[in-house]
Amino acid sequence: MGPKRGINSVVMKRGLRLIGLLALAVSLTGCIYWIRAYQTYLQMGEFDRYFSVAAADDFTLEFKKPIMYSQDFVSLAKLYPSENDATPEGRRFRYWFRKVDSHNQVIKPEIKFYSELTFNKEDLITSWSFSPLFLQIAPPKFLEVSLRSIGGAEIDKEKQQLRANTDLLEKISADLPRKPAVVAHLGAPLEVQVEKENEVYIYHFLLETHGIEEGYEDRALSEVKLTFDKSTQELVRMAGRFAGLKVSINYRKFLDNASESAKAS
């Protein structure tokens, strides 16, 4: 091979590599929010280094070294928040969910809850909060341990879900919500499915939003399934999708055996 041909070959390889890098950059530009979401998921593996939790009337997940921007959440959920307000610290998103009937009409008197995101002046997320009503179906202790379990979760690419590995976590001792208390706060369900050992109460909540992208209209409706043990009346599972965020918590998997044995005796 002559020197000229060798030089041409090197130039061609560099050119192809440059084209490949440009194509990659272009492809990632449209979904860079997925990259930031994945980096945040990786942070969950060192939960206490990157996050902290505060629980009082509401529940707040605080981000110590945030990666995601406000627009990332809109892009991921394909939904705009109900409220988008400037604050002295930056910005606040609030997503309002209102209980609706089978015709998606808001039930009166209103039963509603919210999820709230706050961002700093650089537009990076600083906290994610859930209102008191949401905590009736996702108690703080269980919500925190389920968030911690994401660090060891497997990614289900087909369903775009995380499968938490509860075996990696310390179990907790806590009381499970009971059906009478949950119904007292949420009211009657839209539907009840009766199983051999459980009852599944189904509720619908409609997100107050605007400008929904075509093809994603169904995301504004949240179907929440609450599974109660027939014998104990305890809430043993909660599943739903809230502004594109899929949540499924099997509460019994987080309880220690000693706690379960004490209840059974």
Domain segments of the chain as ranges? 32-264
| pTM, rounded to two decimals | 0.80
> Which among 176, 40, 169, 177 has a CA at the least distance from the CA of 117?
40
Which residues sit opposite 59 in a β-bridge? 55, 130
In this predicted structure, what is the pLDDT of residue 170?
A: 61
Statement: residue 18 has pLDDT above 70: no
Question: Which residues are CB-contacts of 51 (< 8 A; sequence separation ≥ 6)?
Answer: 43, 44, 61, 62, 63, 64, 147
Statement: residue 120 has pLDDT above 90: yes
Statement: residue 23 has pLDDT above 50: no
Statement: residue 184 has pLDDT above 80: yes
In this predicted structure, what is the pLDDT of residue 29?
A: 46
pLDDT category at 2 given cuts 50, 70, 90 is low
Statement: residue 15 has pLDDT above 70: no
> Which among 52, 256, 57 has a CA at the least distance from the CA of 174?
256
> Which among 80, 81, 47, 83 has a CA at the least distance from the CA of 65?
47
Statement: residue 19 has pLDDT above 80: no
Statement: residue 178 has pLDDT above 60: yes
In the numeric block, which tokens belong to residue 232? 């104990």
d(CA 164, CA 247): 11
| DSSP string of 143-204, one letter each residue | HHHHHHHGGGPEEETTTTEEE--GGGS--B--PPPBHHHHHHHH-S-SEEEE-SSEEEEEEE
In this predicted structure, what is the pLDDT of residue 201?
A: 98
In this predicted structure, what is the pLDDT of residue 174?
A: 82
**Tens-digit pLDDT profile for residues 160-169:** 454 555 554 5
pLDDT averaged over every residue in the chain: 83
pLDDT category at 260 given cuts 50, 70, 90 is very low
> Which among 188, 175, 174 has a CA at the least distance from the CA of 233?
175
68: helix, coil or strand?
coil
In this predicted structure, what is the pLDDT of residue 28?
A: 43
Contact 80/211 with Cβ under 8 angstroms? yes
Going 42 to 46 to 52 to 55, the CA torsion angle's sign is positive
**Tens-digit pLDDT profile for residues 91-102:** 999 999 999 999
- Of 6-20, 67-81, 101-115, 198-212, the one with minimum mean pLDDT is 6-20
- Of 12-26, 127-141, 244-258, the one with minimum mean pLDDT is 12-26
**Tens-digit pLDDT profile for residues 26-59:** 344 457 888 898 899 899 989 999 999 999 889 9
In this predicted structure, what is the pLDDT of residue 262?
A: 40
Output 228 or 259, whichever has higher pLDDT.
Answer: 228
